[in-house]
Structure 1
Amino acid sequence: MARLAGIARHARPRGPMEPLETVEVTVEGGLEGDCRGRVKPGGRGRRQVSLIEAKDWAAATGEIGVHLPWWSRRANLLVEDFDLPKEPGTRIRIGDVLIEITMECDPCKRMEEIAPGLMTTLTPDWRGGALGRVIEGGTLNIGDTIGIEA
């Protein structure tokens, strides 16, 4: 069964990631306490939430022979047993939160700072994850179920 396996946030750019068990999510601010979630005036909020698949993270780090916690990717949500949609506009429900996928989360050079080769192994087939905007807020908890919303 598809489920939310991890939650993390960072209070400032390049700041440390903080793994969580639960978090409040709002349309205006994304994950509470995360620096990327707030929608700027006139903005579209296309990067409010970042998601990565557990199997993709394991494959990418395995290819370069390193073991790193998933939040090293700097993603907010780790999904398990779920293929993230690669179609912008697709909506996924995680617990009572609704997120619309907006774009691929391309790996940046920051990944090379973490481990040489990581940027390259995260590049193919949306392996670096997806970005989304919050459509309906609520509380996220590790273990929440995930599904595509029609």
Structure 2
Amino acid sequence: MELPPVVESIHLAKATRLPMQAKATVEVEAGKGIVGDRYHGTRHRHVTVQSRESLNEAAAVYGREVPSHLTRRNLTVSHGIIPRDPGSLLRIGDVLLEAVRVAAPCKLLDDTIGAGAQEALRRRAGTVFRVLEGGTISVGDAVVGVSSPAPRPG
């Protein structure tokens, strides 16, 4: 039986272009995001989550390692697929997250990682979530996909 995914790393930045800082534990507020992060208090972009598995796929396309802190995502989980469908729920530690949209890789990645990184991360750059229930998230916390949205008639 495969072990559940766990939080491999946590990163945040106080402002848009500042370097990401590694953290062992962060406080997450419902409706606001990670305390101390540049997106804390924004409307929907509270927490970004990516998978090490997706970063490894991007590295294979890119031809060299894609370090998790340089992708500018907040949480990197050890393995598995991060839900992308709006409304999908993810539980990490005490925190309940709801998927808002795919986190599109930005041009800044070509500056921080190297030319071609943005393209290698396309469809592999994780998901933007809003925080429904706050709490703490720590490296090593289990990650559980709670549900997916109901199929839409059509």
TM over 0.5: yes
Q: Is structure 2 residue 124 aligned with structure 1 residue 127?
A: yes
Structure 2: gaps spanning 5 or more residues = 148-154
User: For the Cα contact (< 8 Å) 2:58–2:66, is it kept in 1?
Assistant: no
Instruction: Quote the Cα distance in structure 1 between the aligned partners of 2:109 and 2:30.
Output: 28
1:2 shift after superposition: 1.2
Instruction: Quote the Cα distance in structure 1 between the aligned partners of 2:145 and 2:8.
Output: 17
User: For the Cα contact (< 8 Å) 1:96–1:137, is it kept in 2?
Assistant: yes
In the alignment, what sits opposite 2:152? none
Alignment of 1:1-150 (within 5 A): 1-39=4-42, 45-114=43-112, 115-123=114-122, 126-150=123-147
User: For the Cα contact (< 8 Å) 1:82–1:146, is it kept in 2?
Assistant: no
TM-score by length of 2: 0.87
TM-superposition CA deviations, 1:110-148 (whole Å, max 9, x none): 11112111111111xx31110010000001011111112
User: For the Cα contact (< 8 Å) 2:53–2:80, is it kept in 1?
Assistant: no
1:82 shift after superposition: 2.4
Aligned length: 143
Kindly report the root-mean-square deviation, in angstroms, between the aligned alpha carbons of the 2 structures: 1.3
Structure 1: gaps spanning 5 or more residues = 40-44
Q: Secondary structure at the match of 2:130?
A: strand
Q: Which amino acid aligns with 2:19?
A: P
Q: Which amino acid aligns with 2:45?
A: R
Q: Which amino acid aligns with 2:17?
A: R
1:69 shift after superposition: 2.3
> Sequence identity of aligned pairs in percent?
31
Instruction: Quote the Cα distance in structure 1 between the aligned partners of 2:118 and 2:99.
Output: 21
Instruction: Quote the Cα distance in structure 2 between the aligned partners of 1:110 and 1:7.
Output: 19
1:68 shift after superposition: 4.2
Instruction: Quote the Cα distance in structure 1 between the aligned partners of 2:100 and 2:66.
Output: 27
Instruction: Quote the Cα distance in structure 1 between the aligned partners of 2:54 and 2:145.
Output: 19
User: For the Cα contact (< 8 Å) 2:47–2:130, is it kept in 1?
Assistant: yes
